Structure 1
Amino acid sequence: MTRRPRARLIYNPSAGKEALRNHLPDVLDLLELGGLEVSCAMTHGANDAIIAARQASIEHFDYVIAAGGDGTINEVVNGLSNLDYRPTLGILPAGTTNDLGRALGIPRDLKKACEIIVKRNAVPMDVGKIGEDGYFINIAGCGKLTELTYEVPSKLKTHLGQLAYYVKGMEKLPGLKTIHLEIDSPDFAYEGKAMLCLIANSNSVGGFEKLAPNAKLNDGLFDVILVKQVNLPELITLARLALKGEHANSDRVIYFQTETLTISSPELVELNLDGEFGGHLPQKFNCLKHHLKVLVADPADGGRLALP
């Protein structure tokens, strides 16, 4: 008798207005009917998903399914990425913004997302490495604007959804200021003031689906976006341009691609990794090409990540 592939579902019960908690029996039924042998691990606090993903790898599960928002996915990626055996990653977008799900074309509809998983179409995907043992899958950033994503309380996100980010953003606008950054890479160097620096692995950041218009999830390159000092009207204009993917043409924006870079600052600068607090500068960033396999829709069915 052929063994059914084993999958460990790691889920955040508070993600996305608790949508997953309310539909968990249906999700498990769909995955089981799709031919997977599924067991669950529920997260209760920080780093739970890291521990659960690492254990699933040690036990040689075939798949690890991250069900939650970008923070949950980030923890699962951190649990898998420093191990020799890495199960294939499945994603059930159940968070507030779901940047990685957007970039991969995985729908928020849990039934449709489960249909993608059970088809088991796996493709290689890049992973960002920071320092010696930190990882991110979608975005690393620094600057006051990036801080609002991890300053929004989880209860506020549960009740207001993406509106919570705009509420927090309006609160922070009067206090926006530049930071001094020193950026060094084989492809570009910069020293000076900046409002924001983003190191993107995908084109979708903070709900902006064209923020890194040239980014590809499996090209072995980061897309780096640097916003120089701007006033409030200029910032609003840039935000409008970003919705259309036209901000890279602005003289207030620097945009380049690279495999590796180092960022430092004489100031105390916090880092944001996939929407969560990620320590402080200085840090070195490396793009690990094709480091994880991820389950996505076939391009013929609307998938956005094809075989390289």
Structure 2
Amino acid sequence: MTRKARLIYNPVSGHEQMPKAVADILDVLEQAGYEASAFRTTPEENSAKNEATRVAEAGFELVVAAGGDGTINEVVNGLAFLENPPKVAIIPAGTTNDFARALGIPRDDPVKAARVVLDQHTLKMDIGKAAFQDHDNYFVNIAAGGSLTELTYGVPSEIKSALGYSAYLIKGAEMLPHLTENHMRLTYDEGVYEGKLSMFLLGMTNSIGGFEQIMPDAQLSDGLFQLIVVKPADPANLLRLMALALNGRHVDDPNIIYTKTKNLKVELIGESADKPLPVNLDGEIGGYCPVEFTNLHRRIEFFVGQTKNITK
């Protein structure tokens, strides 16, 4: 019986390079033994998500997500709730491409990324589930909340390329006068943190904003989140923590909690209880606190390249 693959691509990702590569990518998928077809996403809300669900329910064996981290997140949200989701391949065409970086997928050539399917190396990867009060959402790379969260995604890619981690320090210094602290209760496997904090990060991979040292012990399929909690700190101390984090030397700092957990419950308490606090999932707002996170161990099977961050 013929195996079917659907390429779901964002035509505006990566300086609009994807449309030119579609024919060659479909040819690679045909070489891999699939009857391949393509779907061009539209500005309509949940375009990629709905198409991923549709083809999965139609019996397609492979979904290829081509675009930036947002497109990949949307495809995953269309598949993660299914009992038997199809395999997924990633073709990065965005600016940061954190998840593709973690999977060892080539990020400089869409057709080269597609050829990873030919090697037939797959592993079932963990997916994060975020249960909000009125809906569920899924993520593959990072969840974050708190006033420092903008730092994770607020630095333009061209500035990161030119300045490296210094760009984050500059952005952090710009944000310092406007930072606020939230009074929160975080309940995780090994304990409870209750008090004020500047930010929490819940990581699935070791790559955040293109840096690979912020979650130094991350594994892609061990069933555990990496949790970082940044406690309140004076402005000068926050800049010091940011510098340490971007070089992987922050985990033992007394202002940081760094641990692994399968679950995390986040609640606003005290004077912060009535504040709307957004939760960022893979670079986009996924909902508002309170929220409960669960690690869905090895939920989706991905094609992978060469990477050291996989627990078999």
Per the normalisation by structure 2, the TM-score is 0.87
Per-residue CA deviation, residues 185-241 of structure 1 (Å, 9 max, x unaligned), is 231210111111011111111222121111111111111101112233323322222
- Equivalent position to 2:194, from 185, 191, 194: 191
Write the distance in 2 (CA, Å) between the matches of 1:304 and 1:134. 28
- 1:296–1:305 contact (8 Å) kept in structure 2: no
- 1:221–1:257 contact (8 Å) kept in structure 2: yes
- 1:96–1:162 contact (8 Å) kept in structure 2: no
Root mean square deviation of aligned Cα:
2.4
Using the TM superposition, give the Cα deviation of residue 140 of structure 1 relative to its aligned residue in structure 2, in angstroms.
0.7
Per-residue CA deviation, residues 240-295 of structure 1 (Å, 9 max, x unaligned), is 22232111121111111111121011132100001111110001111111111110
1:67 counterpart letter in structure 2: A
Using the TM superposition, give the Cα deviation of residue 35 of structure 1 relative to its aligned residue in structure 2, in angstroms.
3.1
Q: 5 Å matches for 1:201-216?
A: 201-216=204-219
Aligned to 1:144: 147
Write the distance in 1 (CA, Å) between the matches of 2:159 and 2:25. 22
For structure 2, the residue ranges without an aligned partner over 5 or more in a row are: none
Write the distance in 2 (CA, Å) between the matches of 1:303 and 1:37. 28
Q: 5 Å matches for 1:166-177?
A: 172-177=175-180
Bigger Cα displacement from structure 2, 122-131 vs 26-35: 26-35
- 2:218–2:309 contact (8 Å) kept in structure 1: no
Write the distance in 2 (CA, Å) between the matches of 1:234 and 1:170. 11
- Match of 1:205, SS state, is coil
Using the TM superposition, give the Cα deviation of residue 73 of structure 1 relative to its aligned residue in structure 2, in angstroms.
0.9
Bigger Cα displacement from structure 2, 170-179 vs 160-169: 160-169
Per-residue CA deviation, residues 16-46 of structure 1 (Å, 9 max, x unaligned), is 2222233333323333334332111111223
- 2:220–2:311 contact (8 Å) kept in structure 1: no
Bigger Cα displacement from structure 2, 30-39 vs 130-139: 30-39
Using the TM superposition, give the Cα deviation of residue 5 of structure 1 relative to its aligned residue in structure 2, in angstroms.
2.7
Write the distance in 2 (CA, Å) between the matches of 1:106 and 1:240. 28
For structure 1, the residue ranges without an aligned partner over 5 or more in a row are: none
Using the TM superposition, give the Cα deviation of residue 307 of structure 1 relative to its aligned residue in structure 2, in angstroms.
6.0
Distance 1:54 1:254, change over 3 A: same
Using the TM superposition, give the Cα deviation of residue 70 of structure 1 relative to its aligned residue in structure 2, in angstroms.
1.0
Write the distance in 2 (CA, Å) between the matches of 1:161 and 1:12. 24
Write the distance in 2 (CA, Å) between the matches of 1:212 and 1:27. 33
Given the alignment of the two structures, is residue 260 of structure 1 paired with residue 268 of structure 2, yes or no?
no
Write the distance in 2 (CA, Å) between the matches of 1:113 and 1:304. 18
Write the distance in 2 (CA, Å) between the matches of 1:161 and 1:89. 31
Distance 1:13 1:247, change over 3 A: same
Distance 1:170 1:75, change over 3 A: farther
- 2:222–2:311 contact (8 Å) kept in structure 1: no
Tell me the matched-pair count: 297
Aligned to 2:102: 103
Distance 1:291 1:162, change over 3 A: same
Per the normalisation by structure 1, the TM-score is 0.88
Q: Which has the higher helix share?
A: 1
Aligned to 1:118: 118
Q: 5 Å matches for 1:259-278?
A: 259-265=262-268, 266=273, 267-278=275-286
Aligned to 1:55: 54
Write the distance in 1 (CA, Å) between the matches of 2:152 and 2:230. 18
